[in-house]
Amino acid sequence: MRAFVIDKDIRTAWTLPGWVYTDPGVYERSKSAIFARSWQLVADTDVVKVPGQLYPFTLLENCLDEPLLLTRDMQDTIHCLSNVCTHRGNLVCESAGNERFLRCRYHGRRFGLDGKFQHMPEFEEAQSFPTERDDLPRVPFAVWEKFIFVALDPPCPFEEYIKPVVERVGWMPVREFVFDPARSRDYLVRANWALYCDNYLEGFHIPFVHAGLNQVLDYGSYRTELFRYCNLQVGIAKGGEDCFELPPDSPDYGQDIAAYYFWMFPNLMLNFYPWGLSINIVRPLSVDLTRVSFLSYVWDYSKMGVGAGAELDKVEREDEAVVEATQRGVCSRLYERGRYSPTREQGVHHFHRLLCEFLNRE
């Protein structure tokens, strides 16, 4: 794969080369270099709410395609395990349910809900058996409020990853937010996943693409703050528009905050509004096809339909159109790369620097 470099000084830096968004080799490299080495939000704790509950899932289907399993054992402890039998590789758990142990239906190998090997028929004569290699491999995971994150090879402790979110909006009762399936849906975007993130990471386009959103946000006060593995865009409400009632110990106390837009490397957006939380998970399907899942968790239904979080479907469709047009544009033989606005594209520059760091790592 061709290497690329993003200058750390945004004032002199050039953006990603157009070929990064179209090269199948870059896309394949990103699977192991980025997605297998990052924290991924996979579920909320309701999927394993009671002891004995099982939740099999595929980590980033059509990208990593890693079969994993969440369990809650009889001691009320959650586990994240490989869902591949250590005998011959069959899937251990094929559907969600409630069980006292795990049994592979291929040859009957049995495991505890903690992944520990328990029994295998017809293995009485096997020597040096069983060993730890016969247990289901454990996968690093973490629970924040009501959300479960996993990472095959985490780049940092989860506490470091989520710290900027906790410090800024930890006062919100996120654990009490209620999932609203009627306000949640998937979008299919005909563009590279990173191009979708680029668009999210700057408010520069708001006056040009989102007329409705521009009426409720103060573009002049819109700002970006950078952290190691995430960044935050702070949306300030125009006079009279809906905003947070911030506690006195908030670093933003006294400001009319309409929205907190957190981007978490590489493909997660946590959008906090006075009504609750909109989660966007960007799932690559191919080099030029992406599924974006919008998940709505409501805190206060009375604040729905107003302010920056009022027309999410409309804003998404506007973003989708411009991102798909940009995907066609970066395929041009006449386009190479552009420059960053030092005042408006700090988040995009930060993202590109992280892509460079992860993709160029040996």
Domain identity same for 169 and 111:
no
Number of domains composing the chain: 2
209 and 64 inside one domain: no
Find the helix or strand (DSSP H, E) in which 97 lies: strand 97-98
What is the model's pLDDT at position 306? 85
pLDDT attached to residue 1? 63
Q: Looking at the structure, tell me whether residues 304 and 168 fall in a common domain.
A: yes
The mean per-residue pLDDT over the stretch 188-213 comes to 95
CB 236 within 8 A of CB 258: yes
- The reply to whether 18 falls in a domain is no
CA distance 236 to 250: 15
Query: Does 340 lie in the same domain as 226?
Result: yes
SS3 content of the chain, % helix, strand, coil (to 5): 30, 30, 45
CA–CA distance, 183 with 305 (Å, rounded to integer): 12
What 8-state DSSP symbol labels residue 273? Answer: E
3-class secondary structure, 51: coil
Is the pTM value of this prediction over 0.75? yes
The reply to whether 264 and 319 lie within a common domain is yes
Q: Which domain holds residue 163?
A: 157-359
Is residue 21 in a domain?
no
Residue from 265, 246, 248 nearest 256 by CA:
246
Can you spell out the DSSP letters for 67-91?
A: EEEEEE-TTS-EEEEE-B-TTT--B
User: Tell me, what's the pLDDT at 242?
Assistant: 87
Which of residues 147, 177, 197 is at a domain's end? 147
Does 10 fall in a domain? no
What pLDDT is attached to residue 307? 83
Residue 213 has pLDDT above 70, yes or no: yes
Domain match, 141 and 176 both: no
The long-range contacts involving 257-260, CB below 8 angstroms and separated by at least 24 positions, are: 258/216, 258/217, 258/307, 258/308, 259/217, 259/234, 259/235, 259/307, 259/308, 259/309, 260/168, 260/169, 260/232, 260/233, 260/234, 260/235
pLDDT in tens, 60-106: 999 999 999 999 999 999 999 999 999 999 999 999 999 999 999 99
Q: Which two tokens stand for residue 260?
A: 């907190």
28 lies in a domain?
no
Which one-letter DSSP state was computed for residue 254?
T
pLDDT tier at 262 (50, 70, 90 boundaries)? Answer: very high
Question: Rounded to an integer, what distance in angstroms lies between the CA atom of residue 315 and that of residue 305?
Answer: 13
Q: For 294-311, what is the mean pLDDT?
A: 91
- Residue 99 sits in a domain whose CATH number is 2.102.10.10
Q: Which residue is it, tokens 């830096």?
A: 13
The letter for the amino acid at 113 is L
Compute the distance between CA of residue 82 and CA of residue 115 in angstroms, rounded to an integer.
Answer: 8
Confidence band (pLDDT; 50, 70, 90) for 362?
low
pLDDT at 156 over 70: yes
